[in-house]
């Protein structure tokens, strides 16, 4: 009977150790999940605002919309205190917003280049017309 009692005592001790380990793990995970990603959220909000105000809806509509949608989802996750999900979505929204901003800048630069080339062409044409007029006046 002593062997049986000893065996039950060992099983009980192992059960307590497992329970303590599970409780400790839960507390550690809760501690990690309890840190709201406020810095990431602020950075993301700034990036999304920059993409929108810079013309992202016009020049990079897909990326801008994606950034806005992920930003909204991140905010929802924050209110639900799902901080891991909020951080992940905020990071994705930030990168989508940054891509939208870069595409917008590239599109605006391309448009400016085309305008400059058009202006140069007009100046050349005006110069050629003036040259021809001067030649005609010199022949008279």
pLDDT tens, residue by residue, 83-115: 999 999 999 999 999 999 999 999 999 989 898
Report the percent of the chain where pLDDT is more than 90: 55
CATH of domain 37-109: 1.20.1270.390
Q: How far apart, in whole angstroms, are the C-alpha atoms of residue 114 and residue 37? A: 43
* Calpha distance 34→102 (Å, rounded): 34
Mean pLDDT, residues 16-22: 56
Question: Domain ranges in the chain?
Answer: 37-109
Span 58-84, average pLDDT: 98
Q: Work out the pLDDT band at 82, boundaries 50, 70, 90.
A: very high
CA 71 to chain centre: 8
**Is residue 51's pLDDT more than 80?**
yes
């Amino acid at each position: 009977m002593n062997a049986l009692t000893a065996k039950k005592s060992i099983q009980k001790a192992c059960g307590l150790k497992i329970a303590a380990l599970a409780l400790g793990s839960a507390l550690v995970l809760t501690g990690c999940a309890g840190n709201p990603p406020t810095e990431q959220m602020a950075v993301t909000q700034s990036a999304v605002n920059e993409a929108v105000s810079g013309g992202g809806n016009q020049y990079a509509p897909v990326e801008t919309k994606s950034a806005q949608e992920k930003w909204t989802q991140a905010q929802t996750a924050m209110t639900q205190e799902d901080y891991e999900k909020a951080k992940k979505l905020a990071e994705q929204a930030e990168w989508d917003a940054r891509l939208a901003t870069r595409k917008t800048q590239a599109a605006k630069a391309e448009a400016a280049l085309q305008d400059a080339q058009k202006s140069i062409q007009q100046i050349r044409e005006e110069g050629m017309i003036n040259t021809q007029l001067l030649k005609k006046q010199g022949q008279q």
